[in-house]
Structure 1
Amino acid sequence: MLNIARLVRPFLFVLLLAATGCHAQSSSTEGKLSPDLARRVEIMLRSKANLPPYYDVLIGPRAKSTVPGFDEITVTFSSDGKATRPMTFLLSTDGKTLAQFNKFDISKDPKEMVSADGRPARGGPENAPVVIVGFDDLECPFCAKMHAQIFPALQARYKDQVRIVYRDFPLVEIHPWAMRAAIDINCLAAQSHDGYWNVVDYIHAHSSEIGGSEKTVAKANETLDTLTREEGKRQKVNMTMLNACIEKQDDSVVRASMKIGSDLGVEATPALFINGERFEGALPIEYVYRVIDNALVAAGKTPPPPVPVPSPDASATTAGQPPARTSSE
């Protein structure tokens, strides 16, 4: 089938259909295109998309558009009975210019694209000017490195200007105990946010040890349950409720979080949304500072003084390697 990206890209800017000579135009711009105008549109599209001759091009009638001086037309490409989704183009009312552009709604604050509501938080208050939502996998080694390196640095630098939350995104295809870990810590989070973060800290710091020398999923699950229960006792939570939640292993909350991530385009961990701006994988800490500083300025706040540039041999990446993927390569 036709590569839609190849077709759309040439029309991000206005394209002239102009040819030498004059062409009679109908006084009414709505309705079916004249055979001459339809042919000129088709030839332009075939040329710009490098369309093979065995593709059929179906051009719909003109319709009113929201762009002054232009009407809309829809174009469908088909081959062997298979058709693309109709694509919308703009055709000037004088029939001399064909254009295509994408219109995006930017009325909503990007910060609101990824909700942090109901999640345990570190750092600033709910109205902090910068909110970082991380999609986390507790069995992901790259997540562990980011957790150990980036977040303490951000809290030390920005204090209450930045609020940090995690959403669950266990890569169940490659991390066999990640789902269990996510369910357990959510059981604890329901009663103690401090307890939640204590267990998250511990698991990320000791993920390679989970499961002990046996390295089995059953042993890892047992370890995770024990860690959660022990922290629950330290936090003086209702142990009857906690134990019942752990035994039930209801994954609905975690699955809902995974769907949120997938809907946002998350495919790998770690993934960060800094006031709605998405980043995946290893990022130099200086780059993260720059993004947060820009977000603070946009929110009308003053960022902290610049951080000294590290020496060339200093390691300052969140992970230093590509992010974990949702499937084995």
Structure 2
Amino acid sequence: MKRMIRCSGAAVLLALAGCTATTTAVAPKPEDADKVVGYFRKKVNLPASAAPKVTDLKASPIPGAGQGVIEVGNQKQPFLLSSDGRYAVFGSVEDLTVNPFEAVMKKISLTGRAIKGPETAKVTIVEYSDFQCPYCARGYQTVENEVLKEYGDKVRFVYKHFPLNFHPWAELGAVAVECARQQNEPAYWKLYSAFFDHQRDVNPQNLKEKSHEYMAGTNIDKAQFDDCLDNKKTADLVKADQQEGTSVGVNGTPAFIINGRLLSGAQPAAAFKAIIDDELASQK
């Protein structure tokens, strides 16, 4: 169904040509919307059993065009329609006055999070990761031992949670580090590092005991930590991180958002460097 989200430059030009009769945006007529569905069914070769429907008919931000959404099962395809009902563009409407990278960063909340690096840093790296994922452990080594050391106070780093449901202790580990953060950040970062450094030594049964061991010397109140962990008091934050990650394009781990740019997978330091250097150069 990936074909559903493609549109051609020719179609865009035709749509604009069809909009010249009026500068007022109007909602598509139901009969014109039916024509869109009929065309779309043929264009993507929908099976006879498919039952596409049109929703959210309204005026478009583009003068002279209306818009709507074709729904096929759980998938949605936005479309634009010229005022005369002749031309359609399949795809989302993009506001060219908006920086897409800035739009991504606005979806990410940094409030109350543990952050490495100064607030004045020109580059912000947000990682969505899973403590039990082996590729995430590789990403951790790259970020901590190469990227952050090379760029120092030019970057700031935020770790967010995206535990995968087939990793038995990943979610509990995420809950644990956030329980630690509620008491102090040194405990948070120490536990964060230990979970990656000792990934193979941790399991659901010993996670609490291992957490105590890894946070030694951080003045953690163990009873308070245990209560938080046992009752999963930070689980909502972990879930919010996952939802946020999905909203900015994360679909696997590790994933990094660097000033709004998505970098997926356990990439080498050179991949980070290419983006960071470009961002730093663009801000001079």
* TM-score with structure 2 setting the length: 0.73
Cα 1:293/1:86, change in 2 over 3 Å: closer
Amino acid in the other structure paired with 1:291: I
Is the 2:79–2:90 Cα contact (8 Å) retained in structure 1? Answer: yes
Q: Residues of 2 paired with 1:75 and 1:109: CA distance? A: 22
* TM-score with structure 1 setting the length: 0.65
Q: Residues of 2 paired with 1:146 and 1:32: CA distance? A: 48
1:88 is matched with 79
Cα 1:67/1:201, change in 2 over 3 Å: closer
Aligned 1:1-329 pairs, distance under 5 A = 3=1, 5-6=2-3, 9-12=6-9, 13-14=11-12, 16=14, 45=39, 49=43, 51=45, 66-68=61-63, 70-72=64-66, 88-91=79-82, 99=89, 102-105=92-95, 106=98, 108-122=102-116, 124-171=117-164, 173-211=165-203, 217-218=204-205, 222=206, 224-250=207-233, 251-298=235-282, 300-301=283-284
Q: Residues of 1 paired with 2:52 and 2:107: CA distance? A: 38
Decide which structure has the larger Cα Rg and report it.
Answer: 1
Cα 1:209/1:104, change in 2 over 3 Å: same
Quick check: which one's helix share is greater? 2
Is the 1:111–1:131 Cα contact (8 Å) retained in structure 2? Answer: no
Stretch moving more, 129-138 or 7-16: 7-16
Once the two structures are superposed, residues 181-232 of structure 1 have per-residue CA deviations (whole angstroms, 9 ceiling, x without a partner) of 2222211111221121122212211211225xxxxx42xxx2x222322454
Q: Residues of 1 paired with 2:74 and 2:167: CA distance? A: 39
2:18 is matched with none
Runs of 5+ unmatched residues, structure 2: 16-20
Q: Residues of 2 paired with 1:58 and 1:202: CA distance? A: 51
Q: Describe the SS at the equivalent of 1:272.
A: strand
Is the 1:92–1:98 Cα contact (8 Å) retained in structure 2? Answer: no
Cα 1:258/1:71, change in 2 over 3 Å: closer
Amino acid in the other structure paired with 1:14: V
Amino acid in the other structure paired with 2:6: R
Stretch moving more, 190-199 or 246-255: 246-255
Aligned residues: 265
Q: Residues of 2 paired with 1:287 and 1:194: CA distance? A: 29
Cα 1:282/1:71, change in 2 over 3 Å: same
Amino acid in the other structure paired with 2:193: D
How far does residue 63 in structure 1 lie from its aligned partner after superposition? Answer: 8.1
How far does residue 74 in structure 1 lie from its aligned partner after superposition? Answer: 5.7
How far does residue 154 in structure 1 lie from its aligned partner after superposition? Answer: 1.1
RMSD over aligned CA atoms reads 4.0
Q: Residues of 1 paired with 2:161 and 2:120: CA distance? A: 22
Once the two structures are superposed, residues 120-174 of structure 1 have per-residue CA deviations (whole angstroms, 9 ceiling, x without a partner) of 222x212321111111211111111111123321122110011111111211x32
Is the 1:134–1:270 Cα contact (8 Å) retained in structure 2? Answer: yes
Cα 1:290/1:225, change in 2 over 3 Å: same
